[in-house]
Amino acid sequence: MKVLALIESADHVCFRYRLNALAWAMAERGLYLEGVPLAKGLFARFGQWAAAARADLVILQRRLLPCWQLHLLRRLCRRLVYDVDDALFRRDSFSTRGALSSMRLGRFRATVRAADAVLAGNDYLGQYAAAHTDPRRVYLIPTCIEPGWYRPVLHRRTGQAVRLAWIGQRAMLPSLECAGAELAAVAAELPGVELRLICDAGPAPLPVRVALRPWSPATEADELVEADIGISWLADDLWSLGKCGLKVLQYMAAGLPVVANPVGIHRRLVVDGLNGFLAETPGDWARAVARLAADPALRNRMGAAARNCVTEHYSVQHWGPRLAAVLETVARGRPPALAPPVQPLPARL
């Protein structure tokens, strides 16, 4: 059976990690994935709608189409799945126009109602989607990663020689810039510490020494294993609750302990004191980083626990067959089954 995914781009992290990395599991069930960037021009998009009509299953990833286009796609395709890994029904934390958007919310409601199934990247997104459609059509499929793509870090550096890591798209740079007070506290505690910024753009000036490392899918894993501690910061708002924690999963797969603020997905992924630290205030950040910087053995233990967490709960091997089973069920037109929620991590792995 042919599965056509209408995506943002072939190298977009959402397609790479949520669909393409799991294509092998789909193929084992006779589902063959083709990812096609959604055309910008209207006539080119109509051509894609014709291709959708020939597919056994269409996955619309992230995009919120104008309602008339959505209705046309729904009429033409046999089965439609919507994949969502962000709170796309809101504007982001840094929008000058505010969080609420009636257009986004209206399109989101129409999309989840039109879909035969919704793949939600976390509990919050799943609950929000289930409020607007039959909950039995909503499946919680977290963003996942394969630890085997990363060489685990062997921690040796100490003190001011340690390297922090932040990886992400330029669209998320404002979240790093908003962590200025936390980074300033870290720099005051460890004046020589370096932030290894793995991104396709640089941020506004930060109160810590920055080494910009251009991001590419070919080098991102190697860049991470040259670091010692992964960091992540999210605004404490409803939009952030939609984040699925890819950067944290990447840190953990590489064997890096994580320092993050206790917001949203961070609370699920980071078990405080086991695979990293949840740090709320600038002082908490400074103490957490300083403790990790002084103790390579602690970083090795936490890094091993972090990698084990990904292997057991968020790996491609773990979730690939589950996603494939959902898609096969939908493609064959079987009645939906109530999807079990993603289980919270245990206090100790």
With cut-offs at 50, 70 and 90, classify the pLDDT of residue 190. Answer: very high
Reading across the β-sheet that carries 80-84, which strands appear in turn? 32-37, 2-7, 57-61, 80-84, 117-120, 138-140
Helix (H, G, I), strand (E, B) or coil at 132: coil
Give the model's pLDDT for residue 72: 94
pLDDT at position 341 is 45
CA distance 302 to 293: 12
Taking only the tens place, the pLDDT of each residue in 253-276 is: 999 999 999 999 999 999 999 999
Residue 336: its pLDDT value, please?
65
Q: Exposed, middle or buried: residue 349 (CB in 10 Å: 0-12, 13-18, 19+)? A: middle
| Domain residue extents for the chain | 2-144+316-331, 147-312
Query: Would you place residue 42 in the very low, low, confident or very high pLDDT band (cuts 50, 70, 90)?
Result: confident
Residues 222, 285 contacting (CB under 8 angstroms): no
- Please say whether the dihedral angle defined by the alpha carbons of residues 132, 138, 140 and 144, taken in this order, is positive or negative: negative
C-alpha triplet 18, 135, 114: angle, nearest 5°:
70
Read off the pTM.
Answer: 0.92
pLDDT at 334: 77
Per-residue pLDDT tens digits for 49-59: 889 999 999 99
Q: What percent of the chain has pLDDT over 70?
A: 96
Q: What is the CATH number of domain 147-312?
A: 3.40.50.2000
User: What is the pLDDT confidence band of residue 342, given thresholds at 50, 70 and 90?
Assistant: very low
Residue 347 has pLDDT above 70, yes or no: no
- Cα-based torsion angle of the residue sequence 86, 89, 93, 97 in order, rounded to the nearest 10 degrees: 150
From the list 112, 122, 132, 17, the residue with the least C-alpha distance to 63 is: 112
Domains 2-144+316-331 and 147-312 share a fold: yes
Token pair for residue 250?
Answer: 């990447």
Per-residue pLDDT at 348 exceeds 50: no
pLDDT of 99 reads: 85
Across the range 71-99, mean pLDDT stands at 93
Cβ neighbours, 10 Å, residue 32:
14
DSSP designation for 38? P
Please tell me the number of Cα atoms within 13 Å of 237 on its side-chain side: 13
CATH number listed for the domain at residues 2-144+316-331: 3.40.50.2000
Report the C-alpha dihedral over residues 96, 8, 10, 324, rounded to 10 degrees: 120
Which positions ≥6 away from 46 have C-beta within 8 Å?
none
